[in-house]
Amino acid sequence: MTRLATDRLDLVPLGRDHLAEYAALIAQPDVHRYLSAAKAIAADPAGQAERIVDLAEQQWRERGYGPFAVFERAGGAFVGRGGLFWVERLKAVEINYMIDPSAWGRGYATELAEAFLRFGFGRLGLARMVATTNPDNAASRRVLTKVGMTADGQRDFGTHMVDFFRIDRSEWKGDPT
């Protein structure tokens, strides 16, 4: 099983064992307010969590990467979800993350984004990764810029607009280990 670790976080592939914690995470309005599926999540967080966990397990089986459950190393608390996800409409691997509001302000999103770049470019040998964020989510835009991603305009997803970010392996300044 693929596991990742940062200085402060342990990451394990998101799966059925994490369903209750993940459903509780996404049920929080502050967590899902910027997501395109916010209304569906608010109406049925458990169902939406199950749908994402099913997709996560499929991505891990078929692609060898996917979302991780994120735990603090000190104490083992579940603090979020994030990872790499193949997005068919973008024809690209997307970095994504969500952190429990109780852990906001600690730099975990930046730590995760850096770990996902190392994993994608280093271990997986990807040539390019992307990220999208709600135009109103300034904190996420700051994280993506901080880790070296370049803003590349907005994309219309039919039901919503997103800010689009990208990074190629040749632009990445990180350590591949």
- pLDDT tens column, 17-43: 999 998 898 887 776 655 555 555 666
Instruction: Please name the residue ranges forming H helices in the chain.
Output: 19-26, 29-32, 38-43, 45-63, 108-117, 138-146
Cα(61)–Cα(59) distance, integer angstroms: 5
Report the pLDDT value the prediction gives residue 80, as an integer from 0 to 100: 94
Q: Tell me, what amino acid is at 7?
A: D
CA distances 109 to 62, 84, 93, 113, 141, Å, are 26, 14, 18, 6, 11
DSSP 8-state class, residue 73: T
Q: Tell me, what amino acid is at 154?
A: Q
Report the pLDDT value the prediction gives residue 17, as an integer from 0 to 100: 94
Q: Is the pLDDT of residue 106 over 90?
A: yes
Task: Please state whether beta strands 67-72 and 92-99 pair in parallel, antiparallel, or not at all (unpaired).
Answer: unpaired
Mean pLDDT throughout 103-117? Answer: 95
Report the pLDDT value the prediction gives residue 36, as an integer from 0 to 100: 56
4-171 belongs to CATH 3.40.190.10: no
- For the chain, domain boundaries: 4-171
Q: Is the pLDDT of residue 116 over 90?
A: yes
Longest CA–CA separation in the chain, Å? 42
